[in-house]
Amino acid sequence: MKNMQPIRLVSCDLNGTLVHQHTMMDMIRTGFPHHPDRYEKARDVFTRQTAGLLSMEETFRIAGPLTQGLSLRKAIEYALNEMHFLEGFEIFLSAIEEKDVYFVINSTGYTLTTEVIKILRGAEKFHDVICNRLIFGWDGNSEREIEEDALSEFVRHYFSHKKENKVYDEILATGEVELRIRDEKEKARLIFGIAGKADIPRAAIAHIGDTMGDSRCICEVAKNGGLGIAFNYNKALKDHLEIVLENNEISGQIFLSQEKSKTSDLRSLLEVLFPLSSRGSASL
């Protein structure tokens, strides 16, 4: 059995891990109901990316333009009405807060989506967010781009009785995405940076994800003595991690919990993150 440090920072993917939907793809489906070809193209590219068959940069080079013309109103309402959290999310999030553990959403999803989540669930529960930025501009014009702080303000105002304002229909996605996570290794690099600023050792980090987009972060965290968790995972991630565990000495732990299912429950991770006794060796 390994003597593991108590977890002080939990890094967690969004799509398929905290929520059932692949939000970047699903937002296109609901935003352009009369253009199913956009959704089909998005589904194809994101399916290949989550299986590890397409790079992050190539994925968003194709998927970014599919968002062009999406109104800020539809983007907010998607996150508000169409995005559904996995079972046990509220208890999972509250337990992390009660233990005074930092919680970071670490996702290739869009910052706008996480702005809505923070408003709905309480911004104080989230230490930080690492996400890509879907760019909006007045009438979708990239030369009239709305900066991130200003866009966040519009999102907050939407929830303070200003959603009828026509500006939410005039602010449109330009079809461009600012990539903060350019490849799989960026998730690990960025979360290590956040931990370093908070004086948290890498061995006290956990990262949770469900697809190949999280494979590198799960492995890098575990190789540095922390806890890598595949949760609600797909077959590609499971197969990859089995090979990693078979062929590598890992100072931390890799743990697989629940194959992808509509009934996957985040509460089951609490005893993995915060066991009554010390965490054990790598498990499958």
Give the tens place of pLDDT for each residue, 112-146.
999 999 999 999 999 999 999 999 999 999 999 99
The amino acid at residue 30 is T
Q: Is the pLDDT of residue 2 over 70?
A: no
pLDDT band at 157 (very low <50, low <70, confident <90, very high): very high
The arithmetic mean of pLDDT across residues 71-85, rounded, is: 96
Taking each helix axis from N to C end, the angle separating 215-223 and 235-247, rounded to the nearest 10 degrees, works out to 30
Portion of the chain with pLDDT greater than 70, in percent = 96
pLDDT band at 1 (very low <50, low <70, confident <90, very high): very low
Q: Is the pLDDT of residue 171 over 60?
A: yes
pTM given for the model: 0.92
Q: Is the pLDDT of residue 277 over 60?
A: no
Higher per-residue confidence, 28 vs 184: 28
Q: Is the pLDDT of residue 163 over 80?
A: yes
Using DSSP's 3-state secondary structure scheme, residue 147 falls into: coil
223-275 tens-digit pLDDT: 999 999 999 999 999 999 999 998 877 899 999 999 999 999 999 999 999 99
pLDDT band at 51 (very low <50, low <70, confident <90, very high): confident
pLDDT band at 164 (very low <50, low <70, confident <90, very high): confident
Portion of the chain with pLDDT greater than 90, in percent = 89
What pLDDT score was predicted for residue 4? 79
What pLDDT score was predicted for residue 47? 93
What pLDDT score was predicted for residue 276? 74
What pLDDT score was predicted for residue 280? 41
Q: Which two tokens stand for residue 16?
A: 């398929």
Count the Cβ atoms, other than its own, within 10 Å of residue 8.
19
Higher per-residue confidence, 137 vs 183: 137
pLDDT, averaged across the chain:
93
Min mean pLDDT across 85-99, 202-216, 239-253, 258-272 is at 239-253
Q: How far apart are the first and last CA of the chain?
A: 15
What pLDDT score was predicted for residue 3? 59
d(CA 145, CA 143): 6
Count the Cβ atoms, other than its own, within 10 Å of residue 55.
14
